[in-house]
Amino acid sequence: MSDIGADLDALSLAARERLAAASSAEAVDALRHHLLGRSGELTALLKQLGSVPAEERPALGQRANEVRGELESAIGVRLSQLQAGDLEARLADEAIDMSAPGRPLRAGHLHPVLTTMRDLREIFHAYGFEVFEGPEVETEEYNFELLNIPPDHPARDLWDTLYVAEPGSIEAGESRPATDGTILRAHTSPTQIRAMRALDPPIRVLTPGRCFRYEAVDASHGFEFFQIEGLVVDRDTSLADLKGMLEEVARALYGRDVRTRFRPGYYPFTEPSVAFDIGCLVCGGEGCPACKRSGWMTILGAGMVHPTVLRNGGFDPDEYQGYAFGMGPDRMTMLRHGIGDIRLFFSADLRFLGQFSEGR
Ligand SMILES: [Zn+2]
The alpha carbon of 50 and the centre of ligand 1 are apart by a number of angstroms equal to 119
Q: Is the pLDDT of residue 176 over 70?
A: no
Per-residue pLDDT, averaged over 31-48, amounts to 86
The alpha carbon of 288 and the centre of ligand 1 are apart by a number of angstroms equal to 4
User: Confidence class of residue 175 from pLDDT cuts 50, 70 and 90?
Assistant: low
User: Confidence class of residue 173 from pLDDT cuts 50, 70 and 90?
Assistant: low
The alpha carbon of 349 and the centre of ligand 1 are apart by a number of angstroms equal to 29
Distance CA(206)–CA(51), nearest Å, equals 111
CB 74 within 8 A of CB 42: no
The alpha carbon of 254 and the centre of ligand 1 are apart by a number of angstroms equal to 15
The alpha carbon of 348 and the centre of ligand 1 are apart by a number of angstroms equal to 30
The alpha carbon of 294 and the centre of ligand 1 are apart by a number of angstroms equal to 7
Q: Is the pLDDT of residue 255 over 70?
A: yes
The alpha carbon of 284 and the centre of ligand 1 are apart by a number of angstroms equal to 6
CB 49 within 8 A of CB 68: no
The alpha carbon of 336 and the centre of ligand 1 are apart by a number of angstroms equal to 14
User: Confidence class of residue 97 from pLDDT cuts 50, 70 and 90?
Assistant: confident
- As a whole-number percent, the residues of the chain with pLDDT over 90 amount to 38
CB 312 within 8 A of CB 322: no
- What pLDDT score does 360 carry? 45
The alpha carbon of 205 and the centre of ligand 1 are apart by a number of angstroms equal to 32
The alpha carbon of 342 and the centre of ligand 1 are apart by a number of angstroms equal to 20
Quickly count: other Cβ atoms within 10 Å of residue 190's Cβ. Answer: 26
Burial code of 95-120, b = ≥16 C-beta within 10 A, e = fewer? eeeeeeeeeeeeeeeebbbbbbbebb
Angle at 33 between CA 30 and CA 35, to 5 degrees: 110
Per-residue pLDDT, averaged over 115-127, amounts to 92
Per-residue pLDDT, averaged over 80-95, amounts to 85
- What pLDDT score does 108 carry? 84
- What pLDDT score does 59 carry? 87
Q: Is the pLDDT of residue 243 over 50?
A: yes
Contacts of 141 (CB under 8 A, 6+ apart): 181
User: Confidence class of residue 102 from pLDDT cuts 50, 70 and 90?
Assistant: confident
Quickly count: other Cβ atoms within 10 Å of residue 147's Cβ. Answer: 26
Q: Among 155-169, 236-250, 275-289, 308-322, which stretch is predicted with the lowest mean pLDDT?
A: 155-169
Distance CA(213)–CA(188), nearest Å, equals 12
The average confidence (pLDDT) of the chain is: 87
The alpha carbon of 297 and the centre of ligand 1 are apart by a number of angstroms equal to 8
Per-residue pLDDT, averaged over 334-354, amounts to 86
Would you call 8 helix, strand, or coil by DSSP? helix
Per-residue pLDDT, averaged over 14-39, amounts to 88
pLDDT, one tens digit per residue, over 5-22 is 888 888 888 888 998 888
Q: Return the higher-pLDDT residue of 2 and 62.
A: 62
Would you call 288 helix, strand, or coil by DSSP? coil
The alpha carbon of 78 and the centre of ligand 1 are apart by a number of angstroms equal to 88
- What pLDDT score does 128 carry? 93
Per-residue pLDDT, averaged over 312-323, amounts to 95
User: Confidence class of residue 177 from pLDDT cuts 50, 70 and 90?
Assistant: low
Q: Using alpha carbons, select from 72, 51, 37 the residue that is nearest to residue 4.
A: 51
Its pTM surpasses 0.85: no
Q: Return the higher-pLDDT residue of 8 and 153.
A: 8
- Which residues are paired to 303 by β-bridges? 273, 324
Check residue 125 and report its DSSP letter. Answer: H
The alpha carbon of 279 and the centre of ligand 1 are apart by a number of angstroms equal to 8
Distance CA(32)–CA(151), nearest Å, equals 96
The alpha carbon of 338 and the centre of ligand 1 are apart by a number of angstroms equal to 13
